Amino acid sequence: MQATVSQLATIEIFSQLEPEILLQLAVNSSLKTYKKKSIVIHEGDFFEAKLHAIFTGNLLVTKNAISGKETTLRQLSAGEMFAAPALFGDRIAPATVIALTDVQIVTIDKEKLMEAIQRSPDIALQILACFNQRLQEMHKTIHGLISEKAVVRLARLIDYNASRYGVELTDQGKSLKVKLPHQQLSRMVGITYEECVRLVRKDLAQIIVYQRGGLITIKDHQALKSLMI
């Protein structure tokens, strides 16, 4: 099944393209659905040379250490690109990608993508901007693991997800549109599940509201940001 022009226009790196270029990409695209909790990509898999992006749903990117410990690297939402080594690199999956919800994934053959880039170099700039953002996030994560307290890392993670994926205003405050369960939070900041629960219930109790399933509402955004200074 091919993606439509309107579907491709929702992908971040394609959002500013002219309709004729989107049409060229659409006829060379594929749209596939994955059920919730299914594995989209296994760590170590060999990629086909294609661009991968999310049309609908959310993905979780995880990696296993030599010890067997699983670490959550990031959560991705609709409109985002992933699986960069399929385009540039050794085409070996560096991490496992899991469907957090039912998801639809758009893929486009690298050869056809390169043809589109020749017509519209802005595509390449958008891809580079995406990679640059990921590198900056990785740098902040590594720096945080080395030099910051766990509660600061949690505050940064919550603030990042609020700004990256948006919030909805409620009576309690700013409710994150993306869900962050305790288990996912703990893996993303490098602490145990038990410590994460303790920090959320005690250290962050006056700043956020955590509801079952990972729905987080920021009651005092200024206090959250003050933790990060």
Q: Of the given ranges (115-124, 136-145, 162-171, 173-182), which has the lowest mean pLDDT?
A: 136-145
The reported pTM is 0.69
Question: How confident is the model at residue 124, as a pLDDT?
Answer: 84
CATH 2.60.120.10 domain span(s) along the chain: 5-143
CATH 1.10.10.10 domain span(s) along the chain: 149-227
For residue range 146-194, list pLDDT tens digits in order. 668 889 989 989 998 898 889 999 999 999 999 999 988 998 888 899 9
Q: For the chain, what is the mean pLDDT?
A: 87
For residue range 59-96, list pLDDT tens digits in order. 999 887 666 677 788 889 999 988 888 888 788 888 89
* Mean pLDDT value across residues 18-32: 89
* Mean pLDDT value across residues 37-52: 90
* Mean pLDDT value across residues 18-42: 91
Q: Label residue 103 by pLDDT band (50, 70, 90).
A: very high
**Looking at the predicted structure, is the pLDDT value of residue 210 above 70?**
yes
3-class SS at 176?
A: strand
**Nearest in space to 136 (alpha carbons), one of 77, 93, 187, 74:** 74
Whether the Cβ atoms of residue 25 and residue 119 lie closer than 8 Å to each other: no
Whether the Cβ atoms of residue 54 and residue 105 lie closer than 8 Å to each other: yes
105 φ/ψ angles, rounded to the nearest 5 degrees: -110, 130
Q: Label residue 18 by pLDDT band (50, 70, 90).
A: confident
Question: How confident is the model at residue 56, as a pLDDT?
Answer: 94
**CATH topology (fold) of 149-227:** Arc Repressor Mutant, subunit A (1.10.10)
Q: Of the given ranges (6-10, 20-24, 137-141), which has the lowest mean pLDDT?
A: 137-141
Q: Running DSSP on this structure, what letter comes out for residue 200?
A: I
223 φ/ψ angles, rounded to the nearest 5 degrees: -65, -35
**Nearest in space to 161 (alpha carbons), one of 81, 70, 60:** 60
User: Which helix (H) or strand (E) covers residue 8, if one does?
Assistant: helix 5-8
CATH (residue range 5-143): 2.60.120.10
